[in-house]
Structures are given as C-alpha cells and as structure tokens.
Amino acid sequence: MSSNEKLYLKIISRLIDTGYHGTSYGHPSAEEHFKNFVDKMKRYVPELRKLDPEDVEETVIDAINYASENWCRAESFFEHAPETGYYIGIGLFRCHHPELGRFYLVLREESNPDFNVHYFNFSLWKRIRDAEREYRELVKIEKEYLREHKILNL
C-alpha cells in the first residue's frame, strides 16, 4: 500500500459518521466554506494539522476521489447538466476496504464554469440508512430548486 493510500485510509476512517462536509470556491461565501472545511478536517484528522490549508483541502478531496474510484461503486446517482454549463451530480456509493469493512459515501458536486464556481461536498457513513436518508434529502432539495427556477420540470 502506498503512503498516499495509507493516508487516504486514515482520512476516510476518521471521517465516517462525522456528518456532511464541504468546500467551495468562486462565490462570496467560499472563503468561509474553505476555512470551516479546513478547520473541521484538522480536528478530525490529526495527520493533516501540520499541512497548509490548501494542502489539507486538496488531500481530503484526493482521498474522497480515490475512495470513490477504487473502493466504491455507485448505487444511485442524480445528475443535471443543461447546456448552459451548470452541472450538479449527487451520488450514493457502496464502498468496501479490507481494513474498514463496508461503508457508504454520499458525494455532491456542483459547478458553473461560466462563473468559476465549484462546490464539493461529501459524507461517509457506516449505516446504509444514514447514507440513503442524506442522499434522498440532497436530491429532493436539488429537484425543488430546479423546479422553483423552472430549470427542470419534475
């Protein structure tokens, strides 16, 4: 196991059942989102405390992406990508790692390249019910937003 994979494993193991986490850039609240994200990650994952804030964010996002690509498979996915460039994807993943056992990842990404705005949010769960509840709630909120703004007729 590479040193990066060992660190990713520690990050994932320490973030399971700690709630919904997210960071972003390109909008007025982005600096606050970033600071809160870094502070929470340093609190939950002691190995990140000595890193610069940008490295904390990048390392955690890399860990989540690595897990989603190598230890997980998609269970459910909601995606909306109109021609305007706006994109949102919400996924529920069933994951397994020999040292962690089964766990679940809820991943939400939103971007609008026209305005250089991007959000990256995730949560990790041991119980499928918790992950499914969060996934359903995120999809419900997004569909209501799309309906309200007449972007999508659902």
pLDDT of residue 71: 97
Among the listed residues 7, 6, 152, the one whose alpha carbon sits nearest the alpha carbon of residue 80: 152
pLDDT of residue 19: 94
Give tens-digit pLDDT for 55-102: 999 999 999 999 999 999 999 999 987 766 778 999 999 999 999 999
Give tens-digit pLDDT for 111-145: 988 788 899 999 999 999 999 999 999 999 988 88
pLDDT band at 151 (very low <50, low <70, confident <90, very high): low
Residue 48: how many CB atoms within 10 A of its CB?
22
pLDDT of residue 116: 86
What are the boundaries of each domain within the chain? Answer: 3-148
Give tens-digit pLDDT for 26-44: 888 899 999 999 999 999 9
- Helices 30-44, 53-70: axis angle to 10 degrees equals 70
CA distance 131 to 104: 6
Q: What is the pTM of this model?
A: 0.91
pLDDT of residue 86: 79
Write out the DSSP string of 112-147.
ETTTTEEEEEEEEESSHHHHHHHHHHHHHHHHHHHH
Single-letter code of the amino acid located at 107 = L
Please compute, for residue 5, the number of CA atoms within 13 A of its CA located in the half-sphere on the CB side: 9
